[in-house]
């Protein structure tokens, strides 16, 4: 009989190791609650848009033929009250423009105010409450964060040149508004028909901004 051929030992077969999945870096919580921030911007934009839509024509504000010297202090006070009611949105825009020009011509103050606003938004207003704020290895509670921001704000506004700049700009804007209101004759203005609409416009803007603030901040803290 013929002997069978010797069987070869089986070759070891090893499955190639599966490629390890690349580690996924844990997504860190965004420093700003984006939905709450967008909601705040949307409400603020709507309120500003509604108010600006009720502004008076600038040509009517600057009509040179309607200016005259008031006969007395009581006449100037009467004109100022009527013009404030009728041109309140325009006056607010004038004061805002004076404030903006003052900040643009003082870049340091503008940068400081923007940094302060960014600190409020990133560290408190639109920052989710979970996880807590950690700076240099120290954990800050919401109360500590709020207190620190208030102290920094008081220091910046009242103990630096930024505060004096803001006060000067507001005083200059108020002086422009007061002078215009005292010398602008309001007899040609339809005050009886427009007074209610003008007042409700500004009140709705202030009320909308005031109501949007706490609601949006509460949504961001959740």
The per-residue DSSP string of 63-114 comes to: -GGGB---SSHHHHHHHHHHHHHHSHHHHHHHHHHHHHHHHHT-HHHHHHHH
How far, in Å, CA of 37 to CA of 216, rounded?
7
User: Which string of b and e fits 104-124 if b means at least 16 CB within 10 Å?
Assistant: eebeebbebbeebeebbbebb
User: Which tops the pLDDT comparison, 71 or 133?
Assistant: 71
Residues in the chain: 222
**What confidence tens digit (pLDDT) does each residue in 117-174 have?**
988 888 887 777 667 777 777 788 888 888 999 999 999 888 888 889 999 999 999 9
Q: Name the pTM for this structure.
A: 0.63
Return the percentage of the chain with pLDDT > 90, whole number.
Answer: 32
């Amino acid at each position: 009989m013929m002997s069978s051929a010797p069987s070869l030992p089986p070759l070891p077969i090893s499955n190639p190791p599966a490629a390890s999945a690349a580690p996924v870096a844990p997504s860190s919580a965004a420093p700003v609650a984006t939905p709450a921030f967008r909601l705040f911007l949307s409400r603020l934009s709507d309120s500003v848009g509604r108010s600006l839509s009720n502004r008076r024509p600038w040509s009517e504000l600057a009509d040179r033929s309607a200016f005259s010297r008031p006969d007395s202090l009581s006449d100037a006070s009467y004109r100022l009250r009527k013009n404030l009611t009728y041109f309140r949105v325009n006056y607010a825009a004038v004061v805002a423009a004076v404030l903006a020009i003052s900040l643009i011509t003082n870049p340091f103050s503008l940068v400081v105010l923007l940094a302060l606003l960014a600190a409020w938004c990133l560290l408190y207003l639109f920052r989710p409450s979970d996880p807590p704020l950690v700076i240099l290895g120290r954990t800050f509670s919401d109360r500590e964060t709020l207190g620190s921001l208030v102290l920094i704000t008081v220091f910046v506004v009242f103990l630096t040149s930024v505060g004096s700049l803001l006060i000067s700009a507001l005083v200059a804007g108020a002086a422009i508004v007061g002078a215009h209101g005292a010398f602008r004759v309001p007899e040609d203005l339809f005050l009886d028909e427009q007074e209610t609409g003008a007042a409700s416009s500004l009140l709705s803007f202030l009320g909308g901004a005031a109501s949007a603030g706490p609601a949006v901040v509460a949504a961001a803290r959740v």
